[in-house]
């Protein structure tokens, strides 16, 4: 089948502010291998976030959108996708708009009680979108990423885009930029993919709760359906590593969740025993804080989970095992 290209504009019909809506009609129905373009995605709060607004001007927006700030675009239905399949999402292009912001209201972030005033800082990006100026000449290198990406969970209940789970969601993995491949287990027919929350830059941990929040001037994804029933959690692949997140109410439990998923995946994809995989996790694999945020005061219905991700560097393995893992992720069509 010839690859086709689809375009999904951000409009009132294709955007849901802060949630995945199982009642929404597909914004597009595509075939495996097709490319989907998302031009001019919206900023937070239904595109009402504008450059230069004061914190006081922005504060009512948080309360106007109780489900969350992210302008989620979708859903994209994939022809033939069924529960038990995996959806591979490759980021072909991601160029941000020319501005963004970092902010924290009172009562959020890793230190919700330490600051007595809210904070808001705007950034202008250069034409090449590779740097932004912070305070006192500090330059921030830009590395755009997609913060929220997920398929719809089973059932007909709306899902907050602030949350995360086996279906994806609020992943905020700083490596999910151009060239990365995200694998998600399909939960319902058609998969129904949603995305939003574009960041121009972000550190692991996202400790004040925001990176440099922005939107996409251009975003292109290639979607491939994989008949791989063994995938049970999100997995991100880059040129250098495989990355597996875990989510929970505490960092302790998030680390355990990521560790267990990593052991399970290594046993299945690399053919290791679980004991060998556990040992390798200790001696050769790093576990990093993805997201850490308390919320003692929030305007939203839900709070983000704590998240930890494993980083499995590909050079740990000989070519034969890397090829075996690649074949596991992308099984040949029967």
Q: For 9-50, write each residue's pLDDT tens digit.
A: 999 999 999 999 999 999 999 999 999 999 999 999 999 999
Contact 276, 291 (CB under 8 A): no
Q: For 88-145, write each residue's pLDDT tens digit.
A: 999 999 999 999 999 998 888 899 889 999 999 999 999 999 999 998 889 899 999 9
Whole-number average pLDDT of the chain:
95
% the chain with pLDDT above 90: 88
Confidence band of 203 (pLDDT split at 50, 70, 90) = very high
Mean pLDDT of all residues in 138-155: 96
Q: Quick one: tokens of 241?
A: 């590593």
* Three-state DSSP state, 77: strand
Asked if residue 334 has pLDDT above 60, the reply is no
Residue 30 zone, left/alpha/beta (φ > 0; ψ -120 to 50; rest): beta
pTM value?
A: 0.95
Contact 150, 194 (CB under 8 A): yes
> Residue 270 and residue 97: Cα distance in Å, rounded?
40
Q: Quick one: tokens of 23?
A: 């009642």
> What number of other Cβ atoms are within 10 A of residue 83's Cβ?
12
- At residue 288, the pLDDT reads 97
- At residue 62, the pLDDT reads 87
> Residue 142 and residue 129: Cα distance in Å, rounded?
7
The topology under which CATH files domain 5-329 is Jelly Rolls (2.60.120)
- At residue 28, the pLDDT reads 98
Query: Which residue carries 């029933």 as its tokens?
Result: 229
Residue 121 zone, left/alpha/beta (φ > 0; ψ -120 to 50; rest): beta
Asked if residue 298 has pLDDT above 60, the reply is yes
- At residue 76, the pLDDT reads 98
Confidence band of 294 (pLDDT split at 50, 70, 90) = confident
Asked if residue 332 has pLDDT above 80, the reply is no
Asked if residue 219 has pLDDT above 60, the reply is yes
Mean pLDDT of all residues in 217-235: 95
Q: Give the CA count within 13 Å in the CB-facing half-sphere of 4.
A: 10
Contact 220, 38 (CB under 8 A): yes
Asked if residue 197 has pLDDT above 60, the reply is yes
Least confident of 81-90, 245-254, 325-334: 325-334
If one compares 287 and 3, the residue with the highest pLDDT of the two is 287
Domain spans in the chain, listed from the N-terminal domain onward: 5-329
Contact 37, 7 (CB under 8 A): yes
Q: For 165-177, write each residue's pLDDT tens digit.
A: 999 999 999 999 9
- At residue 333, the pLDDT reads 63
Phi first, then psi: what are they for 328, rounded to 5°?
-65, -45
């Amino acid at each position: 089948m010839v690859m086709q290209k689809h375009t999904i504009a951000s409009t009132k019909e294709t955007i849901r502010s802060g949630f995945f809506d199982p009642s929404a009609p597909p914004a597009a129905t595509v075939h495996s291998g097709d490319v989907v373009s998302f031009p001019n995605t919206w900023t937070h709060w239904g595109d009402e976030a504008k450059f230069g607004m004061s914190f006081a001007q922005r504060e009512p927006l948080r309360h106007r959108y109780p489900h969350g700030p992210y302008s989620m675009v979708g859903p994209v239905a994939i022809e033939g996708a069924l529960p038990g399949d995996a959806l591979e999402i490759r980021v072909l292009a991601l160029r941000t708009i020319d501005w963004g912001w970092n902010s924290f209201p009172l009562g959020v972030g890793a230190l919700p009680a330490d600051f007595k005033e809210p904070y808001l800082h705007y950034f202008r990006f250069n034409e090449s979108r590779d740097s932004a100026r912070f305070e006192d000449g500090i330059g921030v290198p830009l590395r755009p990423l997609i913060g929220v990406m997920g398929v719809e969970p089973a059932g007909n209940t709306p899902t907050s885009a602030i949350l995360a789970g086996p279906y994806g969601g609020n992943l905020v993995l700083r490596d999910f930029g151009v060239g990365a491949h995200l694998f998600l287990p399909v939960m319902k027919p058609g998969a129904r993919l949603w995305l939003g929350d574009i960041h121009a830059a972000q550190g692991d941990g996202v400790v004040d709760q925001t990176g440099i929040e922005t939107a996409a001037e251009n975003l292109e994804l290639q979607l491939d359906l994989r008949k791989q029933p063994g995938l049970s959690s999100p997995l991100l692949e880059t040129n250098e590593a495989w990355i597996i997140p875990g989510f929970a109410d505490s960092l302790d439990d998030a680390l355990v969740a990521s560790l267990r998923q990593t052991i399970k995946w290594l046993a299945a994809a690399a053919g290791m025993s679980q004991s060998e995989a556990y040992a390798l996790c200790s001696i050769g694999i790093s576990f990093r804080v993805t997201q850490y945020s308390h919320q003692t005061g929030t305007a939203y219905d839900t709070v983000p989970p704590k998240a930890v991700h494993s980083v499995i560097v590909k050079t740990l393995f000989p070519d034969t095992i890397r090829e075996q893992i690649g074949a596991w992720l992308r099984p040949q069509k029967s």
